[in-house]
Structure 1
Amino acid sequence: MGDGAPDRPNVVVVLSDQQRWDTLGAYGNPMDVTPNLDRMAEAGTLVENAFTPQPVCGPARACFQTGQYATTNGVVRNGRGPIDAGGTLASTFCEHGYRTGYIGKWHLGDTRTEPIPEENRGGYEHWRAADALEFTSQPYEGFVYDENGERIDFDGYRVDALHDFATDYIRDAAASDEPFFCFLSQLEPHHQNELGRYVAPEGYDYRFREPWVPPDLRERRGDWYDELPDYYGTCARLDETVGRLRTELEDLGIADETIVLYTSDHGSHFRTRNGEYKRSPHDSSIRVPAVLSGPGFDDGGRIDEPINLVDLTVTLLDAAGIDPPESMQGKSIVPLVEDGDATWKDEIFFQTAEVQVGRGIRTNRWKYYVTAAEDDPDLEGAGGYVEECLYDLDSDPHEQINLVGSGRSTYAGTYDDVVADLRERLRQRMAAAGESDPEIEPAENWR
């Protein structure tokens, strides 16, 4: 951390659900959806290329809380919780004298609409949360549970209600002599399940009635045409609460002592790549926003290297002066913020399950992805995989042309040469994540 940074800064995480990176103006969205986050990115640190390790709600959250890949922490699909409370983000902060609080959607307790036992809360002390919040609430009403398992009802727009729970906790924690860690897990902009659509605050869909359409969605079937106005509207309301949060920190006199991270669990491809919104290898599923501010991250600029959510887990501890548990598999980006020339890996690794069992790596140029060869593979992995896709992100940033098995030539050889290199790198990343060394069957040449 730089000179003048507090020894034990407070840490606040705001995690949205199913939010694409390009909803932020900082990433190029032209509709002024997120002016507060854009200002936060300008004054703080923007991670240009941030990705989820697993593009579905429960596994992504488990990865973030544990700093481990899904096949290590065991939450390879929804309904596979709970996580081990030892060595988590919250338990590690607790061990170092931090107060910890969790607000919002948990999705790791496997209790659905019932209270989550204390031992299944990942080490958090203060608690205002529900396991499957989408089933204990509607966009304008619902309930969560407190640390005693008592139901707390709320009304008003859900984003605002959860934000208010978080600010209540922050005010209380700020009055003590201990540093605090607050994790606010919003449900928006995730679609409301039983409605099968996104629900913006009243009038906010009208603000975006002629939406900018991300290039990867154009000319693809899906529900983006009808859903983008509400989707942007929910993101706009999330952004407003970020502005209110930062104002609250300033009013409490602790803004200079508090790290704030805003990110999401995964993105949304609006049913363009499969029959639902995520669980695919495309950037629309795996790429997420990531903006940091506060001590150590103000004036951090843009980080271009590929960053995974498990890296951000370790980063928060490192920025607070805490050595991460050896069980965590990420790498702190603090050296990148402090020194733009710091060494960094060239790819991120991700896993998929449920719709298909797959493994992939993404560099700044290439996306390489394989799927399980068996008809009914074990959900935690497979003994063999088949190459599914290769995208050249330099010439095809919106992943429209699958080059795997093409046999075509590049300026430096053939795509088969590229695939051979990526195949070996993927196997190494799978082994590093604790998976067995698989057989990967090359795609058939389709020339």
Structure 2
Amino acid sequence: MPAASTPSPCRRPNVLVFFTDQQRWDTTGLHGNPMGLTPTLDRLAREGVSVDNSFANQPVCAPSRASLQTGLYPTNTGAFRNGLTMRRDVPTLARSFRDAGYDTGYIGKWHLAGDHTQGPVPEEDRAGYEHWLAANLLEFTSDAYETTLYDEDGARHHFDGYRADALGTAAIDFIDRDRDRPFFLFLSFLEPHHQNSRDDYPAPAGYSERYGTPWVPPDLAALGGGNWKEHLPGYYGMVRRLDEVLARIVETLERGGRLDDTVILFTSDHGCHFKTRNGEYKRSLHDASIRVPTVLRGPGIAGGVRLADLVGHVDLPPTLLEAAGIQVPPRMQGRSLLPLLRGEGSAWRQEVLIQISESEVGRALRTHRWKYGVTAPGLDAWNDTHADEYEETYLYDLRADPDELANLVGDPALEQVRAELRRLLTERIVESGEPGPTITARPARTEP
């Protein structure tokens, strides 16, 4: 195993989060995509850690983003669904880094200040970031070649050129500032999310044509429906351009001699199933919705590691703080990955809790072999945060059926499996801060 790089003496590392939107894990070369979309990310993975089993704890924008800012499950952040404002009293990355002497900055899409579609995000809803160049709902203040962001003083800034390029240039300007303290930058893209106003995937000019005959993920090919045939070329073009922006940022860090003094986290808020599982792109327990590419590189992080353990978004904020030598707030519910990577600490839990809102009031457990999900059909998925009673709804054997095509929730041969998963899911729900629910077992029958 290559040795971890060492930061410069007497200085904490810089920290950069490169955060994409709606990017499936299998868009990357490191996860087997043959289209050559992510050479820079693949390089960072070779030099650092690929978190091979990385999952959003809620597969929709605002709740997932709230977890990334706080290390909390979405139901504890005030933003358990879209359109809500994150609570102002929760621990955040920005406040922890700022209090430790970091120069903190946020660039791009925020989506944690309710339904603000235009205008600046109020300072009290920026989670403690000092430097700010963002829009709450970037999909409504921008298009592929038109980008409007607001700075920390509320001033409006318009950028020409492709949207991801504009955010990348802003990030490079932030990185290159003269400063006498380390920086923490959270760079949040809209790509490769669809453009809401017309439901398409606007890649840079000419990029959709590059991928006009795309590799098709096996789950999409098997399901057959949805709109992936129309949108995969544009989606892949957007992913490719994101990697080119990442390359520009890595080159900037290298040129300034700062790459080995910078912790880089690459991840995404959730995946995309192209309307094959429900009427839109995510909001389901399937890996296409919840599994994302996650890579860590930097000082104190071993190189050339493929981490097989199951990791949730709540675990990433404590990881960044520990990597910077900052105490993790006790209220954060995730656990740092660094002891796991060093072979230290207590045993790692090999299941991830998934909360689902908007499409259903649901909870799910993802283990290495099983995907187990429960729902509360009588509740309002927009307004109800959780349920006291759930019904078993989904069971997939991921070893035999990695594309989650056969729902085995009523299979009588798996009754004991369901009983154990029911117990584990109930435990994890309680650990997340919710009351212990009643889960009704599904009568034995095979359901497609």
Give the TM-score range, shorter chain. Answer: over 0.9
Contact 2:361 2:379 (8 Å CA) reproduced? no
> 2:446 matched to 1:443?
no
Amino acid at match of 1:391: Y
Tell me what 2:151 maps to. 146
Contact 1:103 1:185 (8 Å CA) reproduced? yes
Q: What is the CA–CA distance in structure 1 between the aligned matches of 2:212 and 2:6, rounded to whole Å?
A: 46
TM-score w.r.t. length of structure 2: 0.95
2:294 to 290, 296, 299: 290
2:91 to 87, 95, 106: 87
Tell me what 1:244 maps to. 248
* 1:341 CA drift (Å): 9.5
- Matched residue of 2:204: which SS? coil
- Matched residue of 2:423: which SS? helix
Contact 1:222 1:272 (8 Å CA) reproduced? yes
Contact 2:6 2:260 (8 Å CA) reproduced? no
Unaligned runs of 5+ in 1: 409-414
Amino acid at match of 1:431: V
Superposed, 1:402-417 pairs within 5 Å as 402-408=407-413, 415-417=414-416
Q: CA RMSD in A?
A: 1.5
Tell me what 1:4 maps to. 6
Contact 2:77 2:90 (8 Å CA) reproduced? no
Change in CA separation of 1:284 and 1:386 when aligned onto 2, cut-off 3 Å: same
> 2:191 matched to 1:192?
no
* 1:142 CA drift (Å): 2.2
Q: What is the CA–CA distance in structure 1 between the aligned matches of 2:196 and 2:128, rounded to whole Å?
A: 28
2:75 to 66, 71, 76: 71
- Matched residue of 1:219: which SS? helix
* 1:131 CA drift (Å): 0.3
| CA deviations over 1:178-209 (Å, ceiling 9, x no partner) | 11100000000000001111111111111111
Amino acid at match of 1:360: A
* 1:73 CA drift (Å): 1.1
| CA deviations over 1:399-423 (Å, ceiling 9, x no partner) | 0011111113xxxxxx110110010
Change in CA separation of 1:8 and 1:39 when aligned onto 2, cut-off 3 Å: same
| CA deviations over 1:412-435 (Å, ceiling 9, x no partner) | xxx110110010111110111110
Tell me what 1:425 maps to. 424
Superposed, 1:296-445 pairs within 5 Å as 296-339=300-343, 343-376=347-380, 378-408=383-413, 415-445=414-444
Tell me what 1:201 maps to. 204
| CA deviations over 1:12-57 (Å, ceiling 9, x no partner) | 0010000000000001101111111111111111000000011000
* 1:300 CA drift (Å): 4.5
| CA deviations over 1:266-312 (Å, ceiling 9, x no partner) | 00000000000000000000000001111122515110000111101
Contact 2:5 2:302 (8 Å CA) reproduced? no
Amino acid at match of 2:159: F
More displaced, 343-352 or 274-283?
343-352
Give me the identity figure in percent.
Answer: 51
Contact 1:128 1:146 (8 Å CA) reproduced? yes
| CA deviations over 1:254-273 (Å, ceiling 9, x no partner) | 11110111100000000000
* 1:367 CA drift (Å): 0.5
Q: What is the CA–CA distance in structure 2 between the aligned matches of 1:136 and 1:396, rounded to whole Å?
A: 41
Tell me what 1:411 maps to. none
Contact 2:4 2:301 (8 Å CA) reproduced? no
* 1:85 CA drift (Å): 5.4
Contact 1:373 1:384 (8 Å CA) reproduced? no
Tell me what 2:213 maps to. 210
Contact 1:76 1:379 (8 Å CA) reproduced? no
- Matched residue of 1:288: which SS? coil
- Matched residue of 1:189: which SS? coil
| CA deviations over 1:353-394 (Å, ceiling 9, x no partner) | 001110011011111010114243652111111111011111
Amino acid at match of 2:6: G
Change in CA separation of 1:202 and 1:403 when aligned onto 2, cut-off 3 Å: same
Tell me what 1:119 maps to. 124
Moved over 4 A (4+): none
